[in-house]
Structure 1
Amino acid sequence: MGLLMSSNSPPVIKVERVTKCYKTYRKPIHRLWQSFAPHKKYAQEFWALKGIDLTVHKGETVGIVGKNGSGKSTLLQIIAGILQPTAGQFETHGRISALLELGAGFNPEFTGMENARLNASIMGLTREEFHQKLPDIVDFCGLGDFLHRPVKTYSSGMFVRLAFAVAINMNPDILIVDEALAVGDVRFQRKCFRRLDQLKEQGVSILFVTHSTDSVIKYCDRAIMLDEGELKMTGSPKDVVQAYLEMMFESDAEVQEPVVIDPDNYSVDFDPRTDNCPNHPTYNSNEHRWGDGRAKICHYEVLQNGVPSNGIVKRGDRLLIRMSVLFEQDINDLIYGITVKTDDGNAIYGTNSRLVGNVPTVQKAGDLVHIQFELSLHLLSGNYFISLGVAQDHMAKDNIAVDRRYDMVHVNVRETEDAFGIAALDGKIELLEDGE
């Protein structure tokens, strides 16, 4: 956990009604004409930011999500002092260290060492302070002899290693990270996130832009969502990520009249026209449901080692989760999916029929289908939530939500505590005698 943050303490970042407009001219001469005739419009305007308000306190980690072109990078560049807003104002308190687009702030002709020294100087570090930090920079980036080679010879991963090592060792009060950690190997990313945790414990405020929604949920105290230059939402990481996913996978399908359903056509002991899911003992009333409604998950059941489950399970149990889906309209390219999450929203397992490819992908209006998922619960003690969903494959959006019921099923794994973490890998410890 980071330092306790108080809304009464002075903010380290305060952004008020910040707007940024970019002007483009079809011809260079139009820029000159504009200066002589300011009341005429020779330029096309693009509003990257529209009246953004944001406050960040000491020790707070804020995640920023949004589609490409939503204004995330522009906002960070304004806070970092690289860009000036068209309107509005902002203030920051403390030293800012920014890790923005790949290679920003580096001279490709300089060596890695020379670029590190130059960045330290720009940040206000003395020569003595830089040499004190140098062993940590060298150790963290792990570039070895490449530090003495021009950075124009670096791969993208090497760029990130150097840039991150420099940024975190500049004694920042505010650290800005813009998607840079998406580049590079997984082991180095994990190393970076461990260091971010340490900086947070030291009271450093972190602004974090990423498309990795799991990282936002795991590492951030708060999140905001931008869309087309506007601040659409601010709140808990889980709620903001949920809204972001809905926006990304929303449907463009036209609403049609639902088909008239006759329950006598189905040999089941429930009415498919109603939502029977709340009747199950594992149902979570705080589920989040969304989709265009062209099909509806109307019933589910959970079998634990072959018998109905009340949600209290054991490590290694075999779960069969069956969901019934009633189709209101004809749909092709269907996907049925399942996700298992921890109680704080981190996905630990997921699969779908698109990956497995073993169920029909076309259904007609009025069809009632039953889909079964099988899971082996190799999980340690804790509360877990299972999401079920129906989607439609889509070339541009990846998939469109038809009926997604996030965190609908709650199970509690109860087991003797002989390990920690999430996965039950059934590890053993033994002392080997000489010669074994």
Structure 2
Amino acid sequence: MRLAPPRSRLLKAVAAACVLSAPLAPAAAAGTPADEGDRHRVGVVISVTTTRVGAPGNPPVAVVPFTDAVYTDCDAAPETSRGCLTVGAVGYPYEIGRLEITVAQWVAFLNTADPEGRDPFDLYDGSESGASWPKYGQVEFSEDARTGRHYAPARPEWADKPYGFADFLDAARLVNSLFNGRILSKGTRTEGGFTYVTYQVRLSPRTERGMYDLDRPDTTRTEDSGFVVPSQNEWVKAAYYDPNGGGTNAYWKYPTNAGVFGDGDATAPSPTVLNPTTGDVTNASTQPLASYRPSGGAAPTWCPAQVPPDDCATVNPLGLDPTTYAEVYQGSLSTVGQARTTSPWGTLDQGGNAVEWTDTITPPPTGEDFGRVWRRLHGGVSNSAPYQMWPSAVGLQPQDNYFYRHTYPWLGIRIGVIGDLEPEDR
């Protein structure tokens, strides 16, 4: 069936997550039209705004994973079982999304990539629906809808929230759709000392090849110019590197403020307070600000006004009892950008809200990959503590973690741009 009962799909996801030795199956050829004549005639138009990141050749900073410090290099770092790595150095100018990809943008992509509602690449699962998951479900699927209209935000309030059910392959397919699409216009503006670029792009249904060749599980960038999933270094530089030399070794502790390394969460940004029925930020005048769970405090939360409170508190696709559900699922994604606190390069929400994928491949934590590809993630998350927003929070996950994708509604996407993209004349 196109949409199996959510619990059944969840059990399949658990099985897939447990069988770590199963390799990622090659991507099917279907869904990647070869007819160039159709390239620009189908697809929804979306707007994507990036911020320009300059200062090419900036120095890296060394981090010991999940510790409250940065170092000039790994020789200066203490020797621990966690090891050390350097992050943040980028030798070229680039752009990164000012905001996370929203549910509205993701729905536009779904309706372009899957206009017939057949979902050949598992871009959607029933656990993402508001009916299945009243509090966290973001996207509804309608089997009887017109071509190109099968997907919609579960509630109007979700349209401007980050899409939160992504794995890396989802992110790569969205990027390929942008890469293969048509740039209709490009506008540049300066605001608050930052340079923002807004692209109007007609998305392409071609998702399996482009910037990433999804026939290869360990795919890397295939071109020197185009839309990308940011690398770990690109992501870290945009979030923490201060070209004016602020912070420690020119790196901030949080994407919202320089902070003080070594002081725990004493200089963490304030946590957002959300409207309980819309997810809008109500305390934006408090700066710096981020959506996360403060130590000893409650995570920011909301549930659509149309949903009965009891359903918000109890109904879930995992079959969890209300007490366990309340303990495990805390924190909601807030409206993008409303925390208002910018990084050194003008991005918003790189601290808190959804944790975000990068395209950087990394060794698995056990040292054995069991046939799977692991990639780095960054950014903290609305249900987690301040340390997740540190530059040393170098998280990693299998790129195709089916269990997390269908049970963890805080996995987001931020796009990037390398090279110089211009509108197409034709």
The question of a shared fold, defined as TM-score above 0.5 by the shorter chain, is answered with: no
Q: Normalised by the shorter chain, which TM-score bucket?
A: under 0.3
**Bigger-Rg structure (1/2):** 1
Q: TM-score, normalised by structure 2?
A: 0.25
Quick check: which one's strand share is greater? 1
Q: TM-score, normalised by structure 1?
A: 0.25
Quick check: which one's helix share is greater? 1
